[in-house]
Amino acid sequence: MALAVVDASVAAKWFLEEVDTGPARRLRDDFLEGSLPLRVPSLLPFEVLNALRYNPNFPARELGTASEALDAAGLLMIPLFGEYMNRTIAVSLQFDLTVCDAAYVALAQLEDCPLYSADAALVALDVDRPRIVHIRDYE
């Protein structure tokens, strides 16, 4: 079974109606059905809920429901310690990324799997490994 990392730009689409929501939800459904294991940094819920909180098309009264759905999904959240922390810092410095963005790239590197993102700047990075794939290209 393949493994993947998703960033908050993808996970936020699970709750929104916008460009590339379809492929993001297909990925989510594959995860929930057990055909695609996912790993995410432990910061993902913070970033997703913050993105939803400030999205004018998402009703603030639904934040609790979104939080419960993220919790119930059973995502394997990886805390930032040890080798993962060191790799995140190195990626941040190498590519001039925020530590948050670098955490997704570093986790995909450590897991040797693709990173799915809707962030065009992240997808455009010239990274040998991992493969950073725009969510619209999820099959």
| Residues 2-26 pLDDT 10s | 999 999 999 999 999 999 999 999 9
Find residue 134's DSSP bridge partners: 117
Question: According to the model, what pLDDT value does residue 65 have?
Answer: 97
Question: According to the model, what pLDDT value does residue 1 have?
Answer: 62
C-alpha triplet 107, 136, 88: angle, nearest 5°: 15
Rounded Cα–Cα distance for residues 121 and 97 (Å)? 10
| Residues 90-99 pLDDT 10s | 999 999 999 9
Domain ranges of the chain: 4-78+113-137
Residue 103 tokens, joined: 């955490």
Question: According to the model, what pLDDT value does residue 21 have?
Answer: 97
- How many beta carbons lie within 10 A of that of residue 129, not counting itself? 11
pTM reported for the whole predicted model: 0.95
Question: According to the model, what pLDDT value does residue 130 have?
Answer: 80
Q: Alpha helix (H) ranges present in 1-137?
A: 8-13, 21-33, 44-53, 63-73, 82-95, 99-111, 120-123
| Residues 65-107 pLDDT 10s | 999 999 999 999 999 999 999 999 999 999 999 999 999 999 9
